[in-house]
Structure 1
């Protein structure tokens, strides 16, 4: 694995290796080596959780973080993504973490860089590291994906999280459903749709999404959205006994979810954020090892998670 662009490039064994490594990092502080390794976080779209968790992951591994702010960079002067990436490679960055508004930004860089690249979000198309932390959160809860009923609820049409999760969860044996308001469907995803009331009564995982106004060409109406399509306290009371609530955030409280449910006993929303640090540490380390940039001597070689239980 030379770059991490899509969960689709991983085998099932690869997925479980990353999850195991993330679990290991959750339990043991570790640094790679004393030699300086530079990572550039190139975020061309706003981000709190993804950017900051990458930063914490990098610092936990003892890496030097090269920060970047597109609003004060040469992007405003017309610099292309490739030229920005090549600039950071040229000044010594050993790895690039990139988020960009384009669905296929990585094609602009294909075979043009000599450092590993991590996809931290590609337009409406993919968000593979979010997917991996979601998988870890679900696996910690249920110890398997086989036969789980997972529903993704919200703005499916504009969600890179939905696309990455649908593909990965189905490959791992979960039953994936979608639930959304009219006009927010994604015809490219071959999953059955449920009403929100059907979803809460029949699913083990309710994964909520926000309405992504910034990606809409027309203004989306959100008045009365919670009562019609969101997770209210009444609907939460009808969820299965051990079912959990997830959300990649940022959260629109009172729109896709009642604010009192954000930190209820079923919610794993902030656990997802914690897991994001460990998953990103694992992905970074795997890539650095693959490229021969560093070798992890402290990670015990253990059996991977059992994929089927």
Structure 2
């Protein structure tokens, strides 16, 4: 992977949370927490990236990530471009690298990239010129580092900074989830006391991804006493037919209901990266209930992405 840090420990790119030093991860979380007020409104930081341009280079659809990166760049005063692959020259055969170089030649030196292929963003980072910074906004099943950061920020706000006390459960389609992989790297780096994984055998990844985790197919047992439950979307667009018998069966075995949530610690919190398949992996009463932190995750996304852009381009 392209080196993410320079010799002084400053971010050059943010491609994955795997291998990111604990100090760098904590620095981004601390800065994001400090930026929360400016993330919601205001123009106090508009001079931070004034005169710089940030392009959302998205080859896959997105609502939350794309919108929050655009807001983050705007709050910091950057000029923003939104690239739509469906109406671009990529439809005429232009490569992603040539697209990046073309925009780079126009003076764009910050790129937020989403792509369907594992490792595509790291490959673009190698093709980028000096002084150009890339942020991985999700590549295939590989990584989604800013989602991992905002999940950790949401957990820290709810549970405090000492992850060594936390039992965290991740439920669902881990095999196809770049979010789960980034969350796992972050939880390990922050020293979570226990990481549990629960999902159908067909939707679990390789053993290396699950290293150090307690794995089970029994959701009721997995929920016992946990401090946080991180539900995952069933990614039907990425999976082969037959991995799930039916949505009804999946909900019966792995859907989070109010009754099931009672098995967790009384003050347990529920996270979901969205978009949610309500009635499949999570019930309305949980998604909209008092233990849900789903909207807090969305709100934290702007602050986290401001912190990342500020460090890369500020």
TM-score, normalising length: structure 1: 0.90
Match in the other structure for 1:192: 214
Residue among 248, 255, 273 paired with 2:280: 255
SS at match of 2:163: coil
Q: 2:225–2:263: 8 Å Cα contact kept in structure 1?
A: no
Match in the other structure for 2:292: 267
Q: 1:151–1:176: 8 Å Cα contact kept in structure 2?
A: yes
The alpha-carbon deviation at position 255 of structure 1 amounts to 0.2
Match in the other structure for 2:252: 227
SS at match of 1:109: helix
Query: Relative to structure 1, is the Cα distance of residues 22 and 54 closer, same or farther in structure 2, using a 3 angstrom cutoff?
Result: same
* 1:167-200 deviation digits (Å, cap 9, x = unpaired): 2101211121100023101123222213210122
Structure 2: 5+ residue stretches without partners: 1-10
Aligned pairs (5 A) from 1:163-178: 163-174=181-192, 175-178=194-197
Is residue 117 of structure 2 the alignment partner of residue 102 of structure 1? yes
Residue among 193, 202, 210 paired with 1:183: 202
* 1:78-130 deviation digits (Å, cap 9, x = unpaired): 11111111111111112000000010103432432121000000100100000
Farther-moved stretch of structure 1 (87-96 vs 32-41): 32-41
Match in the other structure for 1:296: none
Query: Relative to structure 1, is the Cα distance of residues 27 and 78 closer, same or farther in structure 2, using a 3 angstrom cutoff?
Result: same
Farther-moved stretch of structure 1 (25-34 vs 250-259): 25-34
Match in the other structure for 1:212: 235
SS at match of 1:5: coil
SS at match of 1:56: helix
Match in the other structure for 1:245: 270
SS at match of 2:30: helix
The alpha-carbon deviation at position 225 of structure 1 amounts to 1.6
Structure 1: 5+ residue stretches without partners: 290-309
Match in the other structure for 2:167: 149
Q: Measure the CA separation in 1 of the matches of 2:66 and 2:50.
A: 24
Query: Relative to structure 1, is the Cα distance of residues 222 and 18 closer, same or farther in structure 2, using a 3 angstrom cutoff?
Result: same
Give the CA RMSD over aligned residues: 1.4
* 1:113-155 deviation digits (Å, cap 9, x = unpaired): 1210000001001000000000100111111211311111010
Farther-moved stretch of structure 1 (236-245 vs 218-227): 218-227
Aligned pairs (5 A) from 1:1-309: 1-28=11-38, 29=42, 30-33=45-48, 35-114=50-129, 115-143=132-160, 144-174=162-192, 175-187=194-206, 188-189=208-209, 190=211, 191-194=213-216, 195-219=218-242, 220=244, 221-289=246-314
Q: 1:58–1:65: 8 Å Cα contact kept in structure 2?
A: yes
TM-score, normalising length: structure 2: 0.88
